[in-house]
Amino acid sequence: MSGADKNTSGNILLDVEKLGISFGGLKAVDNFNLKIEKGELYGLIGPNGAGKTTIFNLLTGVYKPDTGRIILDGADITGKPTIEINKAGIARTFQNIRLFSNLPVIDNVKAALHNHYRYGLIHGIFRTPLYYRTEKAMDEKAMEILKVFELDGVADYKASQLPYGRQRKLEIARAIATEPKLLLLDEPAAGMNPQETHELMETIKFVRDNFDTTILLIEHDMKLVSGICEKLTVLNFGRVLKQGETYDVLHDAEVIKAYLGD
């Protein structure tokens, strides 16, 4: 995607307006606005407890917002259940990894292909030609995705047997398999060493360019954020502190203050 058509206003993929939610009187997220254009790599940063993951949970329907609207690619998805939101085109990863730990790596991805490769229960039990055809296509597609993340060699391992860094990658692979328009990554580099983080940055860029998707990520690793995010939103105490181009945001006096304290 070239820089020129990113700036046209008809290209908004995610449009969040005045989003808010309270837990027991505490406003966890308040008056949150966000516009993400198609193909962008967008970062959501902020101190711990600023409400970043809560926003992901609101976007994916884990929480129902008290106020505001969420528009994805022109469709209102506010308050819809998680499953419908995934079908509408949002997939995510989790801060604390949530894999299908007893299933083989490849089945983690195949489970995510579920809604794109279909056959009925009867076909599954009686193993009709449709079953074999579809399963074969799923295997091929899953291997293709795993290859991107260099997980094709461990396709038959149980997901729980993978080392931490590769589990994070598998989570991204699984999310990508649902063919999302918008991919949400919750601290993808958490617990990775600099070498792994560097590889991850390359992978994220590759995913954005090759899977025709838009990425919104939460991250504390500033090297990763400044290295790949084109735009940033800084969140503090549930409110937007600053929004804009990465360089401008990171050099903003208020942002620096929020991070370093008074």
Partner 1 sequence: MKNKSKAFKQSFTTYALVLAFYLVCEIWLKTGNMSSLMEGLLVPLCYYMILAVSLNIVVGISGELSLGHAGFMCVGAFTGAIFAVTAGAEMPEYLELFIAIILGAAVSAVFGFLIGIPVLRLRGDYLAIVTLAFGEIIKNVINTIYLGVDVEGMHITMKDALSLNLGEGGKTIIKGAQGITGLPRNANFTIGIILVFISLFIVLNLINSRQGRAIMAIRDNRIAAESIGLSVSKYKMMAFVISAALAGVAGVLYAHNLATLQATPKNFGYNMSIMILVFVVLGGIGNIKGSLIAAVILTILPEKLRFLSDYRMLIYAVVLIAMMLFNSAPKAVAFRERLVESISRKNKKEAKEEA
Partner 2 sequence: MSSFITYLINGISLGSVYAIIALGYTMVYGIAKMLNFAHGDIIMVGGFTTYYIASVMGMPSAVGVLGAVVVCTALGVIIERIAYKPLREASSLSVLITAIGVSYFLQNAALIVFGADTKSFKSVIDIPSLSLMGGTVTVSGETMVTILSCIIILIGLTAFINKTKTGQAMLAVSEDKGAATLMGINVNRTIAVTFAIGSALAAVAGVLLCSSYPTLSSTTGAMPGIKAFVAAVFGGIGSIPGAMIGGIVLGIIENLSKAYISSQLSDAIVFAVLIIVLLVKPTGLMGKKIQEKV
Rule CB under 8 A: which residues touch partner 1? 60, 62, 81-83, 86-87, 91-92, 94, 98-104, 106-108, 110-112, 114-115, 117-119, 121, 124-127, 131, 134-135, 138-139, 155-156, 174-175, 177-178
Give the start-end residues of each E strand in the chain. Answer: 12-23, 26-37, 41-45, 67-72, 75-76, 90-92, 182-186, 214-218, 231-236, 239-245
Which residue lies nearer to partner 1 by CB, 15 or 135?
Answer: 135
Q: Give the position of tokens 């804009």.
A: 244
Sign of the CA dihedral with 52 first, then 55, 57, and 59 last = negative
Q: Which of partner 2, partner 1, none is residue 34 near (CB under 5 to 8 Å by kind)?
A: none
Task: Return the bridge partners of 54, or none.
Answer: none
Looking at the chain, how many residues does it have?
A: 262
The one among 6, 67, 94, 128 contacting partner 2 by CB under 8 A? 94
Q: Considering the complex, what minimum distance in angstroms separates the CB of residue 62 from partner 2?
A: 5
Q: Which phi and psi (to 5°) does residue 168 adopt?
A: -60, -40
Q: Which of partner 2, partner 1, none is residue 4 near (CB under 5 to 8 Å by kind)?
A: none
The one among 1, 12, 62, 130 contacting partner 2 by CB under 8 A? 62
Q: Three-class SS of residue 31?
A: strand
Q: Three-class SS of residue 193?
A: coil
Q: Which of partner 2, partner 1, none is residue 118 near (CB under 5 to 8 Å by kind)?
A: partner 1
Task: Round to whole Å and give the CA distance between 150 and 136.
Answer: 20
Reference 238, options 29, 46, 56; nearest CA is 29
Q: Considering the complex, what minimum distance in angstroms separates the CB of residue 63 from partner 1?
A: 12
If one asks whether residue 86 binds partner 2 (CB under 8 A), the answer comes out as: no
Which residue lies nearer to partner 1 by CB, 98 or 147?
Answer: 98
The footprint of partner 2 on this chain (CB under 8 A) covers a number of residues equal to: 4
Task: Round to whole Å and give the CA distance between 237 and 240.
Answer: 8
If one asks whether residue 57 binds partner 2 (CB under 8 A), the answer comes out as: yes
Q: Considering the complex, what minimum distance in angstroms separates the CB of residue 108 from partner 1?
A: 8
Q: Which of partner 1, partner 2, none is residue 199 near (CB under 5 to 8 Å by kind)?
A: none
Q: Give the DSSP H or E segment for 226.
A: helix 222-228
Residues making contact with partner 2 (CB under 8 A): 53, 57, 62, 94
